[in-house]
A and B are shown apart, each in its own frame.
Chain A
Amino acid sequence: MYYKSRSYKIFSFFNYTFLILISLLCIIPMVHILAVSFSGKAAANANLVGLFPVNFTFEAYAKTLANENFLRSLWVAVQRTVLGTLISMTLITLAAYPLSKESHKFKRRNIYTWFFVFTMLFNGGLIPFYILIQKLNMMNTLWVLILPGAVSVWNMILLLNFFRGVPKELEEAAFIDGAGHLRTLFSIYLPVSLPAIATLSLFTMVGHWNNWFDGLIFMTDHKNYPLATFLQTIIVQQDFSKVAVRPEDLENISNRTVKAAQIFIGMLPILLVYPYLQRFFVKGIVLGAVKE
């Protein structure tokens, strides 16, 4: 029995230590930022905060939540995440269902599949896309954040692979009972594909919540910035001109503890959905990644 040998016990000890260290490394930055956000301003600015708050206070959060620019961006982000996920999931479900059929049942299946897959391999790039959005008069609308990315071909393929694994007998029984395709999709396929739907919905939500770039280039008016874009300009670019702050607010916004609080609020929804996400996603990913 190898695991009783001395050398394996020594290895195990180092292995566990190493794994613990690596795991800690993955969360220490987040713990640090959380500690800064709860610390007093003076302590934070003097770099006295490590992994625990110094002079514990909620002040940074109070200031953040009193900032109307922040709240407005939060609202835009919530809207795009909810609407965007609903629309995207509806579209890919409707498309994945026919594409999951055998090619003798759905004649030009392969042509349609390639029509979608090709967009994963080749695209027009940033500038033509930008010009198109301008021409469509979609600048500064909520739709520009939702529609262009709504048909995620990758997610669609994952879903159609999942649909393919649904036993044919279920579908046949439904047809014999007189159900049409739509009925079969909603009463048979969707309920049995719930793990896949949940995984993809959560991925889509995370994607919408995190996306900052479309907001940055398509929202010329800062009032329409989703939260991720707002954080990008304030924290990363440190460009306060874009959010039109009053001079007396400037100090509050550029304050280190306030920035930390904003970062933390920005990642809070992810931290909340993440444990649920994890339960499903291993299955979802493996489904797409490893296929014999």
Chain B
Amino acid sequence: MLLPAIILVLIFSYIPMAGLVIAFQDFKPWLGFGKSNWVGLEYFRFLFSTPEYVQVIWNTLIIAGLKMVTGLIAPFTFALLLNEVRRATFKKTVQTLVYLPHFLSWVILGGILLDMLATEGLVNQFLGAVFGLEPIFFLGDGDWFRFIVVLSDVWKEFGFGTIVFLASLAAINPSLYEAAEVDGASRWEQVKYITIPALIPITIVVGTLSLGNILNAGFDQIFNLYNALVYDKGDIIDTFVYRMGIIDGNFGFSTAVGLFKSVVGFILIIIAYRLAYKLANYRIF
């Protein structure tokens, strides 16, 4: 029964791993893997010695880092607030609405955001009418671009991220709250001494596991929002690999960049899983 799955994984996952040799070659498609010249670590040296390319790595780390932090705080807070709601229908409605963006692709959301964030779009109209601000060129200015990327990512994913925290909240033994109430604890004290400590293990798990993604700043999102104006601050490793490799046909160099990312990512994921296991006794299977 395993055979069909094994064959497909072998072809589409393991064979490309063998293709990584071109990271060390001056790969020419018409010569193939066998006859292309070897260049050793040339591409890697190139990557780390060219300021533009180092900038791409920094962009990735900055954007991914900001997303990790906000992506942990927002669902955590939201779950705490939602947990204070006593009406089941209200809770359910809020959940239905905030989960929705998660299921739409960045193409759809990108299309909507491009429209709304344009200089004469809905957001700028609103800011102008309420605060009297001059139109802001959100997607054409590097700093604003990063801000929008992080903000829209939180907007898309915080609702969905809440699920895990809500599930842990539901698992807290109600008798703890009853006992606290008998002892005269206020609601805030209950949250502080029961709810938040109960969420610590899952927070550690989510936090450490996201470490493995530090070089994934979100290809889909950035690719659908960026333009040549913000390459300096918005270009991440994945978009860079795509532009260099598929568009410019720089196969060897692109593969080397991708390999660098894969190796670092692999090491980080292993460390993260070990840490999650140690700190919170978490295992995936």
- Taking Cβ atoms with an 8 Å cutoff, the residues of A that contact B are 1-3, 5, 7-8, 11-12, 15-16, 18-20, 22-27, 29-30, 32-33, 36, 47, 50, 91-92, 94-95, 97-99, 112-113, 115-117, 119, 121-132, 136, 147-151, 153, 156-157, 160-161, 181-182, 185, 206, 209-213, 217, 228, 231-232, 235-236, 256, 259-260, 263, 266-267, 270-271, 274-275, 277-278, 281-282, 285-286, 288-292
Contact = CB atoms under 8 A, between A and B. Distances in A.
Given A185-B1, A211-B105, 14 more contacts: A23-B94, A25-B155, A33-B111, A33-B112, A94-B2, A95-B1, A123-B17, A156-B5, A209-B105, A231-B111, A236-B107, A263-B108, A263-B111, A267-B104
Given A117-B285, A231-B108, A290-B168, A23 B251 contact: no
B245 A130 contact: yes
Interface of B: 1-2, 4-6, 8-9, 11-20, 22, 29, 78, 81-82, 84-86, 90, 93-101, 103-105, 107-116, 120-122, 125, 155, 159, 163-164, 167-168, 171, 181, 185-187, 190, 202, 219-220, 223-224, 238, 241-242, 245-246, 251, 254-255, 258-259, 261-262, 265-266, 269-270, 281-285
A209 B103 CA distance: 10
Contact of B255 (A20, A125, A148, A206): A125
Which of A2, A91, A157, A274 has its CB near the most chain B CB atoms (within 10 A)? A2
A161 B185 CA distance: 40
Given A26-B101, A128-B22, A2 B255 contact: no
B112 to A, nearest CB: 5
Instruction: Please give me the 9 A-B residue pairs with the lowest Cβ-Cβ distance, nearest first.
Output: A128-B19, A124-B16, A125-B258, A210-B105, A95-B5, A128-B16, A119-B13, A2-B187, A23-B97
Contacts of A236: 107, 110-111, 114, 224
Contacts of B254: 126-127
Contacts, number: 249
B17 A122 contact: yes
A291 B282 contact: yes
Contact of A256 (B11, B115, B281): B115
Contact of A128 (B17, B115, B219, B270): B17
Contacts of A123: 13, 16-17, 262
B22 A160 contact: no
A19 B122 CA distance: 22
5 contacts: A12-B84, A25-B155, A123-B17, A161-B285, A285-B164
Interface of B, secondary structure class, is helix
Contacts of B6: 95, 112, 115
Contact of A125 (B20, B86, B108): B20
Nearest to A281: B163
Contacts of A228: 105, 107
A288 B282 CA distance: 11
B8 A19 contact: no
Nearest to A50: B122
Given A131-B251, A282-B163, A291-B283, A124 B20 contact: yes
B169 to A, nearest CB: 11
Contacts of A18: 81
B1 A15 contact: no
Contacts of B104: 30, 210, 267, 270
A26 B19 contact: no
A94 B5 CA distance: 8
Contacts of A147: 8, 12
A160 to B, nearest CB: 7
